[in-house]
Amino acid sequence: MRDRITGAEALMRALQEEGVKTIFGYPGGSIMPTYDALFDYTRDVKKCFDHILVRHEQAAIHAAEGYARVSGEVGVALVTSGPGATNTLTGIADAMLDSTPIVVIAGQVAIGALGTDAFQEVDLVGVAQPISKWSYQIRHAEDVVWAVSRAFYIARSGRPGPVVLDFPRNAQVEEIDWEPKKVDFIRSYVAYPKLNMESVHEAAELINQAKRPLALVGQGVELGNAQEELKAFLEKADIPAGRTMLGLSALSSNHPLNVGMLGMHGNYAVNLKEQECDVLIAIGMRFSDRVTGNLKTYAKQAKVIHLDIDRSEIDKNVKTDVAIVADCKESLPALTALLNQSNHAEWRESFKELDAMEREKVIEPAIHPQEGPLLMGEVVHAVAEQAPDDAVLVTDVGQNQLFATRYFKYHHKRSICTSGGLGTMGYGMPAAIGATFGAPGRTVCCFMGDGGFQMCIEELGTIMEQQSPVKMILLNNNYLGNVRQWQDMFWMRRKSFTKMMNPCYELIAQGYGIPYVAVTDRKNLCAAVEKMLVTDGPFILECAIKEDDDVLPMTPPGMNVNDMMLEI
């Protein structure tokens, strides 16, 4: 007997075939047939998926991103057409810039109505194409299974990223014979370039001759699940390593070769040493402007080796002497096998004086202030000291992000979710919700400023409904803090519309039934953090922060990396 099913039912089965367990979504008219099919797949009799009803479609994407970041799986979002679809675009762009594997499925009007300006019609494929790995319209039910398999293959393979499927209503209700399909090859798409051993030998020769090698570790190591291969590489050649913001948990905070965070607000020593090293080894990172500063002066003294799976990143920003285009899970062991057992103790020792300067002028005053209002650094430090070793850091964007990434501790892989390339305010809370589903056994600590918190405040409803155990740390300085800092530094202290009037967050927490504590005095900070961490379920910890707390060190925009300032 033939198994006749609708396109919507075929979508459910295809998602099962891809191992999907969690879907973040928001229903609407054009996606209603699919939601009707989903109903049976979330019931006890045939329970295959958890569907998490978010309160805004953008949050569905960020939640899918958080899920993908910590689990290593593809995140899935399901929305309706028109504004439902366009509300996803910021999250899709965010996922594209940060190489996060997600599949977004959006309803669409029936193909017979396309081009008529039908209610809630929008050209999602055309709009999403520049900000996604693949954007495709499923025009008939017979294409559903193939499109889903291809979407997941593209999203998760090679350099990961977002895929968008536009799902017209007619394709959801048409009937087809069920037949599984698996896409694992696309002729025009080379997900994993073949390793060129000649380049590996050239790179090994440069590293073996180096006196002052420095590795720059990016998120590509995490995406390639090459954390152990990275350690073997660094330890054999005794190479100090800095990490990009997105690559912070690729190497443990307490590893002896970890020399800190790269970038505009990273650590002092590693940023200055980029201008002294003789061989610079970039691994799974893209030489963002926030890392390099002024490209005209960046690392001109060094031979540059770049390991990346994406050929388009080679020579895009920084001229490379040797490029190894391959999956770092494969290229790192091949390179390590050709390296000499080295000792660069003198070079590593030279970092310590600069580290001591930063600790004296920046770190100690930030995490152990003696008087005055609470500082962001001390709050992050207090949470990091008490949180479990495998805790996941999620941040919003702004000063909260910069302080949190600097002062949190990373002991476990896939321990950070933050918006890097796009810098999306409102990312934090929904990404943290997704992280609790992607890593249900781990503590999720989400740092937000008062600006970003209010950009996603509706997701407290999702947290309330799901009892998602997000530990929310609200760093409230009554300002859009990062913009305020730049206005003070570069715009003659003209604080143009950065001061914020904020609501009573205690009453908001009460309205959502979420436990809440406010801290205004540092003597109560550690006890409040402990209460937050031992409380089951979600928690809001609001900390009243000094209004003009500044993030340091800082390389001013457009300046040289070695112009990094320890004080203003």
Closest CA to 334 of 200, 234, 202, 158: 200
3-state SS, 124-180, equals HHHHHHHHCCEEEECCCHHHHHHHHHHHHHHHHCCCCCEEEEEEEHHHHHCEEECCC
> Measured between alpha carbons, how far is 83 from 6 in angstroms, rounded to an integer?
25
CA 278 to each of CA 239, 299, 336, 342, 480: distance values in angstroms, whole numbers, following the listed order: 12, 9, 19, 15, 40
Q: With H, G, I as helix, E, B as strand and everything else as coil, classify residue 541.
A: strand
Both tokens of 217, joined, read 């570790």
Structural contact between residues 102 and 128, judged by C-beta atoms closer than 8 angstroms: no
Closest CA to 378 of 267, 548, 553, 543: 543
> Measured between alpha carbons, how far is 357 from 156 in angstroms, rounded to an integer?
43
Report cis status (omega within 30 of 0) of the bond before 553: yes
> Measured between alpha carbons, how far is 43 from 49 in angstroms, rounded to an integer?
9
Handedness of CA 377, 398, 286, 96 (dihedral sign): positive
Structural contact between residues 247 and 261, judged by C-beta atoms closer than 8 angstroms: no
Instruction: Say which amino acid occupies 198.
Output: E
Cα 195 off chain centre by: 27
Structural contact between residues 551 and 403, judged by C-beta atoms closer than 8 angstroms: yes
Backbone torsions φ then ψ of 223, nearest 5 degrees: -65, -30
Backbone torsions φ then ψ of 346, nearest 5 degrees: -65, -40
Angle, helix 328-336 to helix 197-209, in steps of 10 degrees: 50
pLDDT at 2: 66
DSSP state for residue 213 in the 8-state scheme: E
β-pairing, 539-544 with 516-519?
A: parallel
Instruction: Say which amino acid occupies 50.
Output: D
Structural contact between residues 320 and 314, judged by C-beta atoms closer than 8 angstroms: yes
pLDDT 10s per residue in the chain (568 long)?
568 999 999 999 999 999 999 999 999 999 999 999 999 999 876 788 999 999 999 999 999 999 999 999 999 999 999 999 999 999 999 999 999 999 999 999 999 999 999 999 999 999 999 999 999 999 999 999 999 999 999 999 999 999 999 999 999 999 999 999 999 999 999 999 999 999 999 999 999 999 999 999 999 999 999 999 999 999 999 999 999 999 999 999 999 999 999 999 999 999 999 999 999 999 999 999 999 999 999 999 999 999 999 999 999 999 999 999 999 999 999 999 999 999 999 999 999 999 999 999 999 999 999 899 999 999 999 999 999 999 999 999 999 999 999 999 999 999 999 999 999 999 999 999 999 999 999 999 999 999 999 999 999 999 999 999 999 999 999 999 999 999 999 999 999 999 999 999 999 999 999 999 999 999 999 999 999 999 999 999 999 999 999 999 999 999 999 999 999 8
Residue at token pair 């499109």:
147
> Measured between alpha carbons, how far is 79 from 106 in angstroms, rounded to an integer?
5
Backbone torsions φ then ψ of 257, nearest 5 degrees: -95, 0
> Measured between alpha carbons, how far is 327 from 333 in angstroms, rounded to an integer?
11
